[in-house]
A = this chain, B = another copy of it.
């Protein structure tokens, strides 16, 4: 997720491609939290050896999508409400910082593109495309800050957010219109950076509550960042 292209370029190393594929699966919720990732099996599936798989694991670990214990292997990172909140608050802090630096460099073209992304989000009929549009919006208004390390951290946090989002809204999903996104854009157009930052901070920390049908038919409470 750190420098994502949609297609898997063959220029990338095998380890990178494997880690990207696994990251997608974890984020999409295809692999349950806590599941052991066995390098031999994964190596077999990708028709590769287990060395690149191990490197992919280190990558996932750095992203916070997997945790590894020294000689006991790696598992898909579990997440609880406390972790959802943690990610949300870190995103709020870092995205506000990024926006403050990006604001002076925001052009009309970028803001228009961001508005397009918002519309695309409103028009989307499934969670995945909504999440993609949402991510595009945030990226667009933050990228001009020109702080690569900060943007990389935010990307990782977005991946974690998306994981929570998909976990909560996997089965049922209703389209939402993004008032916050529009408010942020309006403030930015007026040159009111502080108002934009304040809205962004609140927006990211918005936590949705929804009952979700878990595997097994019974209902369980689920939570997700929705910003």
Which residues of A are at the interface with B, using a C-beta cutoff of 8 A?
A: 11-13, 15-16, 51, 54-55, 58-59, 61-62, 64, 70-71, 82-83, 86-87, 89-90, 93-94, 96-97, 146-150, 153
8 pairs of residues in contact across A and B, judged by CB atoms under 8 Å? A12-B70, A61-B62, A64-B149, A83-B149, A90-B97, A90-B149, A90-B150, A93-B93
List residues of chain B with CB within 8 A of the CB of A12: 70
Residue of B whose beta carbon sits closest to that of A87? B149
| A11, B147: Cβ atoms closer than 8 Å | no
Residue of B whose beta carbon sits closest to that of A56? B58
Residue of B whose beta carbon sits closest to that of A95? B93
| A62, B62: Cβ atoms closer than 8 Å | yes
Q: How far is the CB of A217 from chain B (nearest CB, A)?
A: 32
Contacts A58-B58, A70-B11 given: A147-B94 contact, CB under 8 Å?
no
Q: How far is the CB of A197 from chain B (nearest CB, A)?
A: 11
Q: How far is the CB of A23 from chain B (nearest CB, A)?
A: 14
Tell me the bound Cα distance from A12 to B59 in angstroms: 18
| A13, B71: Cβ atoms closer than 8 Å | yes
List residues of chain B with CB within 8 A of the CB of A149: 64, 83, 86-87, 90
Most buried by B among A12, A13, A58, A71: A58
Residue of B whose beta carbon sits closest to that of A83? B149
List residues of chain B with CB within 8 A of the CB of A90: 94, 97, 149-150, 153
Residue of B whose beta carbon sits closest to that of A94? B93
List residues of chain B with CB within 8 A of the CB of A96: 93
